[in-house]
Amino acid sequence: MIKKQPNMNAGAAVLFVIFSLLFFILIFRFISIQVTGEVHGQALAARAQQKYSNEKVIEATRGTIFDRKGEVVAEDTTAYTLVAILNDSVTTNKKKPKHVSDPAKTAAVLAKYIDMSESEIYKRLTKKGAWQVEFGKAGRDITNQTKRQIEEEKLPGITFLRDSKRFYPNGVFSSHLVGFVEKEENEDKKSVTTGQLGIEKTLNDELTGENGTLSFESDLWGFLLPDGEKKVTPAKDGSNVFLTIDKKIQTFVEDAVDRVDEEYKPKKIIAVVADPKTGDILAMAQRPSFHPTTREGLDNSWHNEVVETPIEPGSTMKIFTLAAAIEENKWNPNERYKSGKYKVTENSREISDHNGSGWGSITYLEGIQRSSNVAVAKLVNEKIGTEKFREYLTKFGFDEPTGIDLPNEASGTIVYRWPIEKITTSYGQGSTVTPIQMIQAATAVANDGKMMKPRVIDKIVDPNTGEIIEQDAPESVGQPISAETAKEVREVLGTVVTGEHGTGKSYAIDGYEVAGKTGTANLTANGSYLGGANDYLFSFLGMAPKDDPKLIVYVAVQQPEIDHYFKGSIPTSMIFKSVMQSSLQYLNIKPASLEKADSSPVPDITGLNAAEAKKLLESKGFEAVLIGDGSQVEDQLPKADVLALEGEKVFIRASGVMTYPDMTDWSLRDVMKLAQIADIKLNKAGSGYVTKQSLKPGIPINEGENLIVELETPLQQFEKSMKPEEESEEAEEVGG
C-alpha cells in the first residue's frame, strides 16, 4: 500500500480553495447580471441589439433632367465596377476556383470588353500581395450589357460591384447649361454625388434627394432572423427637372456649330435660341465644349460663355441705339448726314466707318444698313443725348445680370466716363455685355416692347406623384420701348438683310423675313486691339418672322480661320441660317411666301393663241414662260387643273421654233420643268439657283440635246460677289 505524500494533500487543498472562489464569483456575477441587466454599466439588451442588428443604406436616386417635351437629358442608371479577386484563400474547392487562377487567359478575355490593353490587365492580375484589384477608369461604369457578356465568359475570380452613375444620353448637348456631377467624400467619409456645373449645380439640392435606411436583426453571420424586427425608412428620390430646352432645336444647333467648328476651326463659337414671347432658352451651345459623361474636353471649356463671359458686342449693339432714337422721336430715316469720320469733341480721336472713308452723304437708313459707326455716333451725340441714351442702356438691362437660373452669371461693364466712351458704347466698342444680356434686351424688340427674363427651368416635379413642386412662369422685366417702336426697329433691321446696301444679305432665308444686325468686334490683348485678318468676334443677332418673331437666334464666332475679315459672315451665317430655318420649319411656322400665296388650278390653255394664253396665266397670278415663236399653244406644264402657287412658272410650248430662255436665278425645279416640256436632257452642277447655262438664251432648242446648268446657293453667290473687291461696301463692319 502506497502512502500519500503530505505535499500532495496541501496542493489539492489549494486548488479546491481556488476553484471554490471562482465558482462563488461566477454565481455572484450571474445573479448580479440577472438582477441589474447590466455589464460594466452597459445594458446587455443594447449590446445584443448592437451585435445582432444590421443597418443598410437605401440610396436615393438623383432626379432626372428632361427637356421641355419630356425627353431625357440626364438620368441615373445602374453601373458596375469590375473587380478581380487574386487571393487563393477564398478558394475551398480547387475544381471551382473563386480567385483568378489563370491570369493570362483572364487578361486576354477582359481586353475584349474594357478599354485597357491585355498586357496592362495581366500586370494588374499578377500584382503580388494584393487581395483584389480594380481596373481604374476602364473598369468603372460598366453597362449591364457588358457585365452580362463578361459573366458569360465564366472567368474565375471576376466579380462586379453595383453602383449608379449619371448618364447623359445625348452626349455633347448643351453641356454647360446642363452641367455634370462628380462623386466626392463628405465629412463622414461617405461618397456623395454633387453637381459641378450648370443645372446640376444650381439645383443640386432638389436633384439629390435623401437616402433611406433598412434596419434588421440578424444572426452571427448576418442573416435575417425569422422573427427579427425590421425598420425601413424609405429613400426620398430627387426631384425631376424640366428645362425650357427643346431637344430638336438643340440638336440643330449642335450640328451647325460642329460643321463650322470643323471647317473654320474658330477659337470660340456661341449660339443661343430663345422664344421672345416667354424668354425661354430653347437651345444653348458653345465650342469648345465637353462630354458630360466622360468629361472629355472639360479642361478647355470650363466656363459657360453665354452667361459668364462679357464681350464687346460690336454693331449688334446698334439695335438698341436705333430703338432709343426711334422711341425718343429722334429718328428720321430719310435725313442725310456725311459718313466717313466724326469727332465727338475737338480733342477726341476720330470715329471712322468700317471702310475708313464712308460713302459720302447718305441717309440715316442707309447708314444703319451699311452699319455706319458715324450714323449712330451722331444719333447719340446730336439727337438722343448721351445722358438719355445711358438711361436706355439701363432700361434694356445692361447694368446687371439677368438672373437666369445658371451659376456664376456675370454682368458686362458699361464704360461711360469720357465723351468718346459714351459714343463708342453706342456701336458696341469699349463697353461689354454678356450674350444672355443681349438675348434679354432683344426680346423687347421682338416682343412688342415687353422685355422677358431669360429662363432655362420650366418646372420641378415630384418623381413619385408627378405633382408639380415648383413652376417657373415667364416673367416680364420691363418695357424699354413701345410696341410701335419695336415694330419700326424690326422694319429697319429687315432692310439690313434685304436692302441693297445691307451688311446682312448673307443671313436671308428663303421664304422667311429676317430682321437682324451684324457685328464685327475687334479683339484685344494686353490692352490693345489685335490687327490680324481674323482677329474679330463675328456675330449676328436676328429674329424671324420679322412681323411677329417666334425665335431669336444669337451667333458669335471668334477668330475663324479666314484670310480677310469680310468673310467672317460666312461661318456665322452658316450657323444662323441652318438653325433658324430648321427651327421655324420644326415649329410649323409657315414661310411668308406660302402664307401670302394662293394656290389655284392652272387653266387649260392648249389650243389657244400664245399671246392670249400668256395674258390669261398672268391674270391668274402665274408667271408665264413662252418657248416657241409660233402663235398656237401645243402643250403646257403644269398641266391643266393642277394646283399651283401664285407666282409659279407655267411653261407654254408654242408652235414653231423653241428657243432657250434666260434661266439666271431659276430654281432647279423650274429648269426640270423646262427640260420636260422641251424634251431635252438635263445635267446640273451644284445646288441652289442657276448662275450659268451651257446653251445660251435665244438659241434654238433641239429635242434630245444636253443642257448643263451650274447652281449656287445665295451664300455662295454672296461670297463670290465679295471676292473681286475686298474692301467693297458690302463688307462686314470692323470695330463696331
Closest residue by Cα to residue 536 from 731, 304, 727, 313:
313
Identify which of 390, 451, 397 has the alpha carbon closest to the alpha carbon of residue 425: 390
DSSP 333: T
Which backbone phi and psi does 78 adopt, to 5 degrees? Answer: -75, 135
First-to-final CA distance of the chain: 131
> CA–CA separation, 238 vs 74, rounded Å?
13
Angle formed by the axes of helices 483-498 and 435-446, to 10°?
110
Active site residue 372: no
Nearest to 65 by CA among 56, 52, 74: 74
Cell of 138: 476602364
* Residue 664: Cβ within 10 Å count: 12
Coil, strand, or helix at residue 733?
Answer: coil
Give helix then strand counts, H and E, for the chain.
22, 33
- Kind and range of the H or E element at 558? strand 551-558
Q: Which helix (H) or strand (E) holds 493?
A: helix 483-498
Beta bridge pairs of residue 35: none
| CA 157-159-162 angle, 5° bins | 165
Active-site residue (options: 174, 175, 289, 315): 315
Contact status, residue 99 vs residue 88, Cβ threshold 8 Å? yes
The contacts of residue 639 (CB under 8 Å, 6+ apart) are 602
Give the CB-side neighbour count of residue 682, counting CA atoms within 13 A: 18
CB 362: neighbour CB atoms within 10 A? Answer: 20
Question: Distance between CA atoms of 513 and 498, rounded to whole angstroms?
Answer: 9
Q: Are 255 and 262 in contact (CB under 8 A)?
A: no
Are the C-beta atoms of 536 and 521 separated by less than 8 Å?
yes
Residue corresponding to grid cell 470643323? 262
Grid cell 418695357 is found at 479
| Residue 80 · residue 144 · CB < 8 Å | yes
Quick check: 660 and 699 in contact, CB under 8 A? yes
Per-residue DSSP letter, 383: I
Closest CA to 280 of 428, 440, 130, 165: 440
Cβ pair 291, 177 in contact under 8 A: no
Indicate which residues carry an active-site annotation: 315
